[in-house]
Chain A
Amino acid sequence: DAGVTQSPTHLIKTRGQQVTLRCSPKSGHDTVSWYQQALGQGPQFIFQYYEEEERQRGNFPDRFSGHQFPNYSSELNVNALLLGDSALYLCASSFDRGTIVGNTEAFFGQGTRLTVV
């Protein structure tokens, strides 16, 4: 059973460019969350997708957007990249059955390391 897979593993972009990161959830999972982890810090919640809609959002600007597809996979898009967007981007999936109850375990992927130069 494949776990959460993210692509690409590493990425280098130039300031001002746009980037798309991809995540395939663990088999059977219907909810995808994205986190940004700056070097030496803990992850910060960006947003969460369920049933192809953004269900919750953290304190991130509109430059960060996402999408969830019918097969539950998800994309994270970042526009107008800044140097400060350099970080490890983690995807986590869970099976929430449509209820926002925190009794299900989130499984994480290995992340995409984004470097903005």
Chain B
Amino acid sequence: AQTVTQSQPEMSVQEAETVTLSCTYDTSENNYYLFWYKQPPSRQMILVIRQEAYKQQNATENRFSVNFQKAAKSFSLKISDSQLGDTAMYFCAFMFNNAGNMLTFGGGTRLMVKP
């Protein structure tokens, strides 16, 4: 079974600075997807960014980008120009290509953006 590990339970960053959240995963599969989800106090999971394992290029969405190292099974999230609204729990998640949206989540990282 696949596992997802987030080794940073909590992190903080000053507004406008850059922060990187770490994620590692374990799988023997070759075709899969990786995601970062944001969960603010409203509790709703919001997709931040996704990466297809077959793509070598790292995904980017505005201020959010990933560093995907397939051989190392590492998938970190970089948030540039941090904003107060980025304060939330962040979850890394894994999905097999044939899993029909069955996600395996990590334990989460609580990010606090300080003014």
Interface residues of A (CB under 8 A from B): 31, 33, 35, 40-45, 48, 50, 55-56, 58, 88, 90, 92, 94, 96, 99-106, 108-111, 113
Give bound CA distance, A100 to B46, whole Å.
Answer: 22
The A/B interface has a contact count, at CB < 8 Å, of 77
Tell me, in angstroms, the Cα distance from A43 to B93 when the chains sit together: 10
Given contacts A31-B101, A45-B104, contact A102 B33 (CB under 8 A): yes
* Least CB distance, A56 to chain B, in whole angstroms: 5
Is B99's CB within 8 Å of the partner chain A? Answer: yes
Whole-angstrom distance from the CB of A94 to the nearest CB of chain B? 5
Task: Say whether B99 contacts A56, CB under 8 Å.
Answer: yes
**Interface hit among B13-21, B37-45, B69-77:** B37-45
B contact residues around A40 at 8 Å (CB): 108
The residue from B91, B102, B104, B106 contacting A33, defined by CB atoms under 8 A apart: B102
Residue from the set A44, A48, A102 with the largest chain B CB neighbour count within 10 Å = A102
Q: Are B44 and A111 in contact (CB under 8 A)?
A: yes
Q: Which B residues have a C-beta under 8 Å from some C-beta of A?
A: 4, 32-33, 42-47, 50, 91, 93, 95-108
Given A42-B105, A42-B108, A102-B95, are A88 and B43 neighbors across the interface (CB < 8 Å)?
yes
Q: Are the C-beta atoms of A102 and B105 separated by less than 8 Å?
A: no
* Distance (whole angstroms) from the CB of A92 to the closest CB of chain B: 7
Q: In the complex where A42-B106, A102-B33 touch, is A92 in contact with B45 (Cβ < 8 A)? A: yes
Closest to A9 in B: B43
In angstroms, Cα B23 to Cα A26, docked, is 29
